[in-house]
Structure 1
Amino acid sequence: MKIDLHASLRAHNTFGFDVSAQYLAYLENKSDVVEFISKAESDRQPWQVFGGGSNLVLAKDLPGYTALMQIKGKSLLKETATHFYVEAMAGESWHDFVQWSLDMGYPGLENLALIPGTVGAAPIQNIGAYGVELQEVFESLQAFDKSRHEFVTLNKQDCKFSYRHSIFKDEPNRYVVISVCFALPKQWEAKLGYTELAKAFTNQDSLKPIDIFHRVCEIRRSKLPDPQVIGNAGSFFHNPVVTNELYQQLKQQFPQLVAYPSGQEWKLAAGWLIDQCGFKGYKLGQVGVYEKQALVLVNHGSGTGGELLQLAEQIKKKVKETFDVSLTVEPVIFN
């Protein structure tokens, strides 16, 4: 296992914040994971494992041990009359895996195209986009359980998925995801609940998974900035879920309110709330709110994690004052 001393993390977080790790390790196989955790704990040092760095706010240099998950590989594990069971290792690029699955004839992930990050990070966040959540196609995952000091397999119930949440957030640093298995249906059905997808495919007779994949990529590219061009972590805030009572009050006060039913509650569009507060295109030092999508915070070049968190607090305060709604942050913060 390779370990670098005082290594820059600028290239390993999509905001591009220039912080460093005291020790930076590279995990290329399962045994590296065991060695990494054992070394950090024997040295009595804090530790964390990063994927693609697409869901992080690094506001300080990181003491102790940081690891980059780089275990690669993807394959068809088995096939039944109803499903393809496809596995990808944690260090695989999520988008590349989605594209590979479609190329191989395994549909079901097309709505989740172009989400930045790695396969191993996907279940932690229970990623979702354009009407589909990871838990809908999730079968199981393999992880190293620090508490038991052994590799374990977790099924959907074990992972306790909810909106952008999982057991991995409830018990941070207990599990290191090694691989994820997906159950992809052979009887494919297009998921067109998202308005822009439904409008794009009025004739569904000849619709194919790859068509949705390409359209999702087009939509995302039109709304979200490329991290290679301008630093960002995609959506910065969760869409808040509110009671029907509060929704009705807000709808009466703000007739243009953008919201979606969520069981007995309502999910509000956080980007709309932020936009109404006048933050779209706003700058604070070298960080700001993306001019095309108020849900995205950006680093214009030499910004810091501290500046970004200051901006996030300004946004949360204004939204609370205006709508009586509390926003929560999606990325993991190291502050």
Structure 2
Amino acid sequence: MNKRIGLVGLAAIALIAAPLRAEAAPDELQHGLDEVVRTAGVGAQVEVHDRGQVWRGRSGVAEVGTKRKVPLDGYFRIGSVTKTFLATVALQLVAEKRLRLDDPVSKWFPGIEGVTVRQLMNHTSGLYDVLHTLPRPPEPEFYANRYRTWTADELIQRALVNPPTDKPGVAYKYSNTNYLLLGEIVEQVTGKSYDRQIERRIIRPLDLEHTSLPGTSPRIPEPHAHGYVPNPDKTLLDYTTMNPSVFGAAGEMISTTHDLDRFMTALLGGRLLPPYLLKQMKTPGTEGGHYGLGLAWIDTPCGIRAYGNDGDALAYQAWSFSTPDLRRRVSLVLTPNFASDSDDVVDPYLDKAFCANGVPKNGY
């Protein structure tokens, strides 16, 4: 997750009413993207919207050892941006009075006491993050698990054998376990799996033709850049194909920068949720916290606040953010090279993209 991500109440929107300031010349967007790739990536693509203008840029290569350009319309794994889709579905169920934010999770999982649906969504449940139970590179078991199918129950149980990190509602602590549970709750409430609900409620109504929930399918549609993870010897292993069930409801989705922008525009524009629930989505779980109900924010040096989310899917890292008035929007994907922390270079790039006065009229 982005280190700066957080969330405040709807009243804070007034703080970003000031016009965009010319903190960066438009051509710096391409130079900045080149710097992101030079420092932390194999390749990157970005889509920037500014008051009716659109710029799509790319840098680096689509595959190590080639000169093939990163596709501007490429598919990629969006990681935890999936959580924003799932949270939107859960809040639609709240609007339909089929689910309450203060429902106890024990209603569906009797062994989990004192935790509410709201606390799952804003990461204040205190439940141990399943991610910390899974092997990571360069552990041999990580590579052996590449095409293994994981069930939600299996992943949840791996997490729950560990003690909670805090009492429910006390502190923000990011945990993928929360959204694995939320996916199961959506299924219990509706009788349909969370992926079916995301497709029915979001993907089809918004015509997100390039967005999917792959389940256990290891492949990414064409075109796409290749994604990599580090080998034990620090070289890069092509990890484009892998079984995404290890991410499940917490991060399995595939999309494009265009579709992510379309989704964030619809969400923040009020097309998917009533105003009172969009306000809830923008409310942090703890005072001065950093995350709402599946939605996060970033503040830039020029005084602009942008809402959205980011995601890490091992070989792909994604960011999608928008100002509340939808005038400035940025969706970016990086295939990291693990030479440095990508947040350290992507954060300044997002600052530049949101603070620049205008974008180039033509990309590549």
- Report the TM-score when normalising by structure 1: 0.23
Is the radius of gyration larger for structure 1 or structure 2?
Answer: 1
- Report the TM-score when normalising by structure 2: 0.22
Q: Relative contact order, CA 8 A, sep 6+: which one is greater?
A: 2
